[in-house]
Amino acid sequence: LTQDELKKIAAYKAVEYVESGMVLGLGTGSTAKHAVDRIGELLRQGKLHNIVGIPTSTKTHEQALALGIPLSDLDTHPHVDLAIDGADEVDPFLNLVKGRGGSLLREKMVEGACRKFIVIVDESKLVKHLGGSGLAMPVEIVPYCWKFTAQRLQRLFKESGCVAKLRTSGENGEPSVTDNRNYVVDLYFNKDIGDLKAASDEILRLPGVVEHGMFLDMATTVIVAGELGITVKNK
């Protein structure tokens, strides 16, 4: 099975938890895309009805709109029944790294407002510790004096050999800009982050920081699709 087929299997399994009448947080990324497609399909087939979707990015907003999924936002629906979204890393305690797609702020807002948050991953996302895989841990920051903020982030985790890199897009290396008109600094650790809560607090205390990609104690269920089948992990 290809990685995308595994992502689709996990996504379809998660949509089985969707009931008619729900207000749904719609995730962002290649795995969540399958879940949003599936919700649109079930609505079209009349197997689901009066669903309201709260998209976690303009990209998901456009996808859901094209599928005819009725959309709203957190101002109108401050309490969300269920969110389904992917993740970049999942540790054994269901803590996540998210945001490599750059949507972490709206994802964390929507998923933080949910009664249930189902994470859908293929087995390659499972890690022992967050941040140790050498992949990026994203931090959304304001554009003003981004170098100053990036330096302060890097210094925070000096002993973890942390390197902070501004996320750029396109060939001319312009800074990537999020849906909220902010920048993203990716933190690269050469060993795992250790005390996640302490790291989270220290990052959020920096005045130029908007939000980071560690989703601690937020997932209620993680659905993992692997070669040997589907595993459902509950908090």
Catalytic annotation, residues: 107
For 24, the 3-state DSSP assignment is strand
Structure tokens at 193: 């982050």
How far is the C-alpha of 9 from the C-alpha of 161, rounded, in Å? 37
Residue 53 touches ligand DER, criterion: CB under 6 A: no
Q: Is 29 left (phi over 0), alpha (psi -120 to 50) or beta?
A: left
Instruction: Tell me if 201 sits within 8 A of 229, measured CB to CB.
Output: no
Question: Is 211 one of the binding residues for ligand DER (CB under 6 A)?
Answer: no
Could you say which of 25, 40, 55, 86 contacts ligand DER (CB under 6 A)?
86
**Minimum distance from CB of 80 to ligand DER (Å)?**
16
Which distant-in-sequence residues (6+ apart) come within 8 Å of 158 by Cβ?
Answer: none
Helix axes 3-15, 30-44, angle to 10 degrees: 50
Interface of this chain with ligand DER, residues 165 to 194, rule: CB under 6 A: none
Q: Which stretch binds ligand DER (CB under 6 A): 18-26, 58-66, 94-102, 196-204?
A: 94-102
Residue 88 Cβ, how far from ligand DER at the closest point, in Å? 4
Show the tokens assigned to 157: 């985790």
CA distance 50 to 36: 15
Q: Where in 103-142 is the site for ligand DER (CB under 6 A)?
A: 103-104, 107
Q: Which of 10, 87, 130, 136 binds ligand DER (CB under 6 A)?
A: 87
Gap between the Cα atoms of 44 and 150, Å rounded: 46
Is 38 a binding residue for ligand DER by CB under 6 A? The answer is no
Judged by CB under 6 A, does residue 99 bind ligand DER?
yes
When the beta carbons of 152 and 214 are compared against ligand DER, the nearer one is 214
Closest distance between ligand DER and the C-beta of residue 210, in Å?
15
Cα separation, 153 vs 200, whole angstroms: 11
Number of residues that bind ligand DER (CB under 6 A): 17
Whether residue 191 contacts residue 159, with contact meaning beta carbons closer than 8 Å, is answered with no
Among 27, 40, 131, 208, binds ligand DER (CB under 6 A): 27
Residues that bind ligand DER (CB under 6 A): 27-32, 85-88, 98-101, 103-104, 107
